Structure 1
């Protein structure tokens, strides 16, 4: 077959038909050009029956591999073995789907770019989450080829919607790490790219990634598994570092960005405290030691250039310099870049009462800073909101003290603009001007 689609299947009976149908219903003739390799991982729902129904309906196009042990990496490797005569191979998860024109667009790309051996589709969420992946910005320029040595911030992670020339996989002799059930696809893709250096972008088709309502996908549950921590650092991040050193004699910026863009997931607010639930104290220290080793390879300028909140960058640089625990933080954020957010409001007869907070992304107001409000010709001291604000904490280090972040205002009706002014080091720092009408209008629209 021209195209082989490898699809591991495990307890995805609710979604499997939709995934398979999206391949059968391609604008590019399915029965003549496409085969699906279903690797049934001993599901306990009706997935096996669904696989067999489709294999019966399309005996020349749909094959089933029965695998006793649920292991996504083993499943993909087994699927690859059944694609010996294929020209192109793709991996689609059994709860996802592709747009009807996807394979036609992929073939058009590969025919035009005969020197490119990997091409990817933009990723869009559906089901319990809508919108598109943050990395889709890559598809919105005029370029359809990424050279990782030049465009090092254009990192690629997701195996779904990634198409390979089979001969290139064979030539490189790569396979999925069967000890890994998370990040195994990142390792596979980027081992390929370290060698190939280039990949293609196909903006006119789509890969649809399902965010399940029950939140029981491998990605959702991985944070509660021990191998999501030190095991991932050693077998994922460090392996990429090793392969870059072997190929280039350095950790190239692309691999640094690949790791940095992912490592931030450990320290964002919803995840960073989980380490204390999942790992014991010895395991925690091992994880922090491994992370310190990895961050030593990261250029601080690249950390600063990452798309993440300033306090996350400050924490990573501080960790890179001094390790865990982080007892002091470098400061790269500036108070003047702090954002002002209206959190509540109430209109009285002649005034508007507002509760206003600083986002604490860039910096933090301290007790030695006087804070003022200016509107018209008025210049008055801001009234601190006595309600305690929750500090921003990463691995037991307070990265933003929010004690002085929230204020209560009372401004006359008719005042359209106001701004915060912070007294720092005997001079005034003017924060952004706030348009009251614009803020209130947006809140009314949401209501």
Structure 2
């Protein structure tokens, strides 16, 4: 228990007090073994729930350390094959939806036909979800164009001033070294020519910069269009980007359609592997289970990688439009992360109610419901891979089912009135004294 901020002496005192209370409650009920084991079962499950929740809460408050990480159920649901698995994964992130919105081409245009389009038409073919992000940075792009034009104008003035000074310095040096009037005249003529050239070059550079400054809004629009075209060219297969594919060493250059085709193939292989294993009873050999798990994980990873790479490409293009993420900004919690917070407190509250015998039957039903939901995310079906760190070889029935059944059995008895706060809280609602015997 060293990972929890609770002194061991307090834990030992609590255990001793619980044991004494259990013995007293059993003695009060005529040393009934049924009373003893039902109460012991309730307290044991409550202890399990409470300290599981406390550990999760402590990990969140401690943060990342060398030996632990904050609690997150995302890795568990990431590989969950059950009916609730996919739904729960989407509460953390939904790479499939991102691929539909950002990676799949919104229009049915072949690569060859896309290459024939004008830049404006290619920009218009950019996925709407991505185009909106670029359009939101239009003002930033215009400010960048304006700042670049002003910088070029300033650089032109500085360059002209430096060139004039250099020409004058050369003239002065040549004049001092001159021995005749002709040589001095030649030095002055060369200096005048150099200064005139510097002024002409400066005027030309200023004209270009001023033209950009006068039309910085149009230049900003062009920057947005360039970003849209660059992304659309990847989406429609005109350009490739670095990508990593499992079983292939090194980076590949793949277009978005090629990535989508690969993802479809991986999904198909995973589905066929599951169907082959579902024909038999049991999880098969360790090799079979491992292969199915690898295919499933490969499909999930390929999907997440594609969504991540698409977002990375978008962020790269947004930086060219002046987007600068706030380093101090706190990322918004996803629905899954919020559910994690609720879950860890739920475990503590329900566990404490079970140990303290408060609203015991309701707590038993709620705890059983939680276990049922956990089971539906990772059911012990023979055609599904087992969750990480599973002990034994459960077939349809696993520890979650057994614990849920035990809780429902406890809900059938007034154990909270035998030992717990229900004897006080529910006394006004009880018409007769309950007898366990």
* TM-score over 0.5 (shorter chain): no
TM-score grouping bracket, smaller chain normalisation: under 0.3
Which of 1 and 2 has greater Rg? 2
Give me the TM-score of the superposition, normalised by structure 2: 0.20
Give the structure-1-normalised TM-score: 0.20
Specify which structure has the higher proportion of helix: 2
The structure with more strand, counted as a fraction of residues: 1
Looking at both structures, which has the greater relative contact order when contacts are Cα pairs under 8 Å and sequence separation is at least 6? 2
